[in-house]
Structure 1
Amino acid sequence: MSFAAILGASRASGDSPAGLRASLYFAGQSLIEYQARQAAQAGADRIMILVSVITPALSQAVDRLSADGIAVALIRDMVSMVRDAPRDSDVLLVADGAILAQAHFDEIGQANGNVMLVTDDSRASAPFERIDAGQRWAGLARISPDLLFGTLDMIGDWDLALTLVRTAVQKGARRITVPHDDLLEGRVALVESQAHADLVARAVTAAGAGQGHSRGGIEHYLLAPLARIVSPSLMRMQVPALQVRIAAIALGAVAMVPIELLWPLTGFCLLIAALFLSEISDRLANLALRPPPTGWLALGAPIMALVGMVLAGGTTLAADLALMLGIIMLADRWRRTGNARPWMIFTPGTALLLLILSGLGGMMTGGFRVAMLLSIASVATILLKKAE
């Protein structure tokens, strides 16, 4: 069942009364963007952001979200909320400044009726709103249309989120208690300052670094694990994924120079480094909950690797190998490899490693022949596994 999401973006940050918690930098974007992407990933089909004043930062966040296909609107008063809120579906309520692991968003998103995420009262949960003598609201709730509009009718100028939560408590909403370890390790937090946001981002990115789709072959067994190690640090340094991808393509172009100068092994090493940068870019986008890259820009580094093989080989066999690897690469990226295991997928990175090893042994021509046979075997395996 589809649902909408209501995010708060009006509370001041602890750094400056003029700044908003929602505008704090978090995981490569503003905090409100990250919350919106979490809600969308959990299944929300539209996002409503409650604001007291529309700032340039909030407007830019809306533009970036809209560019990624997320329906989002800024709500300044209760009249707009009554007009825009859905009357036939639940809403996901997210507290101003709340950051929670995606698993909690998914759990609440799949629930039905009035459901609240709560935490036991303790020193670690002190920043959250108390709802009774023993528990506090953990910043996430699912609210039914009846409860939402019944509250809007009487709310006046009160705080919508807290009023909804208190009404849900009075109506006996089901409660889901988060593990205490999530509080201690930063997977559930109420961010109030940039320093606090940086600490929570470290915990969130560390938890999400192992997620996401990785390639087959050497990309799966070597490049992806290295990218998972490097990406959280780059995220904390605010390195944009797009810049890393452009650097990967540029390095791939530089690799053509030694290949043209008949130093193919040097060029192949540079091409593997370019594929590594491309993997890092994919990982950074995954940590920021941005949609996976599409289009030729996402394929820039692998395509440069294929071009390098053709230039180094200088034969029709090398061109045929590049064509086969291109087909396998697209099937792998588009997740159309069926039940094939990662080691069964002969990727451009794997081919480069094979050619480097054969070149060190003075058997580059033989390396191209073996790579061609392995690519044929890989395609056959993918087709046969898909037919099972």
Structure 2
Amino acid sequence: MSFAAILSASRAPADSSGGLRACLHFAGQTLVEYQARQAVRAGADRIFVMVSVITPALSQAVDRLSADGIAVALVRDMVSMVRDAPRDADVLLIADGAIVSQAHVDHLGSAMGDTLLVADDSRASAPLERIDAGQRWAGLARISPALLFGTLDMIGDWDLALTLVRSAVQKGARRITVPEADLLEGRAAMVESQQQADLVAQAITSAGADRAYDRGGLEHYVLAPLARSIGGALMRLQVPAFQVRIGAMALAAIALVPIELSWVLPGFCLMLVAILLCDSADRLDELALRPPPRGWTAFVAPALTLIGIALAGESAVAFDLAMLVMLLTLAVRWRRLGGAMPWMVFTPATLLVLLIIGGALGFMQEAYRLGMLAAIASAGALILRRPA
């Protein structure tokens, strides 16, 4: 069942850097954007952000979320919340500055009724809000409509999130305890400064670093592990994924120059680096919980690479091979693999390595013919393994 999510963006950061804690930089975006994407990934269909003042950074964050198809609204008073909040579905409540791993968000997203994510009282949980003598609130809760609107009826000058949590405690809400290891390793934290946000982002994203890429061929087995390392480093440097993707396009275009000058192998090596940059940009999008691009921006670098391969081959076989591999690239990006295993998919990077090896050994034309056979076999695997 779908649900809504209520976030908060009203507190200032502890480092006196100005602005809002919710607008601290986190995993390539603002912290409140990351919270919203976590909620959407867990199943939320609407996002409400409680704000005290609407800042330019907050408005830009809302625009970026809306551009990705996420329904988000800024709420400045309780009257608006009473009017807009869903009356037939639970809400996922996320505290101002709270970051927990996606597994905990998914768990509460699938829970039913009033549920609190809590941590046992200890030195590691000291920054969290105390709810009784033995436990503290870890910044995440699922609230039923009855509890939400029963609390909203008490309109006054108070903190909505903390009041809802205290009401849930009084009504005996179910509790899910966060392991202390998650607190110590930063997978559940209350972010209060930019320095702390950077540390928590590194812990949160490294926890999901072993997630499988939806790739095939050399991209899956070789480039994906490299992209994970490069993506993590670029995220810590706050480099946007779009800039990395533009760099990949530019490098693939530059690689056409040495190919036109008959320096084929250096051109192929540059194109291989361009594909690695594309995968690194995809990794940055994954770390930021953004959906991978499926439009033209995702295909410019591979298309330029295949154009270079066709130009270097100077034959009908090379042109046909480039066209066939481009179709396979579309199938991979649009997830139409028909159940084929990664090693069955013939990708641009796989073709480049084959041609580089063939060119270095003096068998370039034979490498093109072998690539054509491999591409035909890969297309056959995708077709024949597709469910009836």
Q: TM-score, normalised by structure 2?
A: 0.98
Q: Structure 1 residues 387 and 160, CA, compared in 2 at 3 Å: closer, same or farther?
A: closer
AA paired with 2:281?
Answer: S
AA paired with 1:179?
Answer: P
Counterpart position of 1:38: 38
CA–CA distance in 1 between the matches of 2:18 and 2:53?
Answer: 11
Alpha-carbon distance, 1:109 to partner: 0.5
Q: Is the CA contact (8 Å cut-off) linking 2:114 and 2:168 kept in structure 1?
A: yes
Deviations 1:247-272 (A, max 9, x none): 10110001111111111111111110
AA paired with 1:63?
Answer: D
Tell me how large the CA RMSD over aligned residues is: 1.1
Alpha-carbon distance, 1:17 to partner: 7.6
Matches within 5 A, 1:1-388: 1-16=1-16, 18-211=18-211, 213-387=213-387
AA paired with 1:196?
Answer: Q
Q: Is the CA contact (8 Å cut-off) linking 1:92 and 1:140 kept in structure 2?
A: yes
CA–CA distance in 2 between the matches of 1:251 and 1:238?
Answer: 21
AA paired with 1:252?
Answer: A
AA paired with 1:71?
Answer: A
Q: Any idea what SS the aligned residue of 2:235 has?
A: helix
Deviations 1:31-83 (A, max 9, x none): 11111111111111111001111111111111111111111111111001101
Q: Any idea what SS the aligned residue of 1:297 has?
A: helix
Q: Is the CA contact (8 Å cut-off) linking 2:294 and 2:333 kept in structure 1?
A: no
Q: Is the CA contact (8 Å cut-off) linking 1:212 and 1:286 kept in structure 2?
A: no
CA–CA distance in 2 between the matches of 1:291 and 1:234?
Answer: 18
299-308 or 8-17, larger mean C-alpha shift: 8-17
AA paired with 2:69?
Answer: G
Q: Structure 1 residues 387 and 81, CA, compared in 2 at 3 Å: closer, same or farther?
A: closer
Alpha-carbon distance, 1:212 to partner: 5.3
Alpha-carbon distance, 1:339 to partner: 2.1
Alpha-carbon distance, 1:229 to partner: 1.1
Deviations 1:233-259 (A, max 9, x none): 110101111111011011000111111
Q: Which runs of 4+ in 1 moved over 4 A?
A: none
CA–CA distance in 2 between the matches of 1:80 and 1:280?
Answer: 41
Deviations 1:102-122 (A, max 9, x none): 111111001111111111111
Alpha-carbon distance, 1:155 to partner: 3.7
In the alignment of these two chains, the number of paired residues is 388
CA–CA distance in 1 between the matches of 2:337 and 2:19?
Answer: 48
CA–CA distance in 1 between the matches of 2:272 and 2:18?
Answer: 47
Q: Is the CA contact (8 Å cut-off) linking 1:6 and 1:94 kept in structure 2?
A: yes
Which residues of structure 1 form unaligned runs of 5+? none
Q: Is the CA contact (8 Å cut-off) linking 2:119 and 2:135 kept in structure 1?
A: yes
Q: Any idea what SS the aligned residue of 1:53 has?
A: coil
CA–CA distance in 2 between the matches of 1:387 and 1:125?
Answer: 50
AA paired with 1:133?
Answer: A
Q: Is the CA contact (8 Å cut-off) linking 2:217 and 2:347 kept in structure 1?
A: yes
CA–CA distance in 1 between the matches of 2:372 and 2:341?
Answer: 19
Q: Is the CA contact (8 Å cut-off) linking 2:213 and 2:224 kept in structure 1?
A: no
Q: Is the CA contact (8 Å cut-off) linking 1:209 and 1:231 kept in structure 2?
A: no
CA–CA distance in 1 between the matches of 2:311 and 2:46?
Answer: 49
Q: Is the CA contact (8 Å cut-off) linking 2:213 and 2:220 kept in structure 1?
A: no
Q: Any idea what SS the aligned residue of 2:106 has?
A: helix
Q: Is the CA contact (8 Å cut-off) linking 2:75 and 2:81 kept in structure 1?
A: yes
Q: TM-score, normalised by structure 1?
A: 0.98
Q: Any idea what SS the aligned residue of 1:133 has?
A: coil
CA–CA distance in 2 between the matches of 1:85 and 1:63?
Answer: 21
Alpha-carbon distance, 1:318 to partner: 0.6
AA paired with 2:305?
Answer: A
AA paired with 2:50?
Answer: L
Alpha-carbon distance, 1:213 to partner: 2.9
Q: Any idea what SS the aligned residue of 2:12 has?
A: coil
Q: Structure 1 residues 280 and 79, CA, compared in 2 at 3 Å: closer, same or farther?
A: same
Q: Is the CA contact (8 Å cut-off) linking 1:51 and 1:76 kept in structure 2?
A: yes
Alpha-carbon distance, 1:295 to partner: 1.0
CA–CA distance in 2 between the matches of 1:115 and 1:61?
Answer: 28
Alpha-carbon distance, 1:209 to partner: 2.6
CA–CA distance in 2 between the matches of 1:252 and 1:12?
Answer: 44
Q: Structure 1 residues 184 and 68, CA, compared in 2 at 3 Å: closer, same or farther?
A: same
AA paired with 1:26?
Answer: F
Alpha-carbon distance, 1:28 to partner: 0.8
Deviations 1:191-228 (A, max 9, x none): 00111111111111212233253310010111110011
Q: Any idea what SS the aligned residue of 2:86 has?
A: coil
Q: Structure 1 residues 84 and 129, CA, compared in 2 at 3 Å: closer, same or farther?
A: same
AA paired with 1:337?
Answer: L
Which residues of structure 2 form unaligned runs of 5+? none
AA paired with 1:363?
Answer: F
AA paired with 2:81?
Answer: M
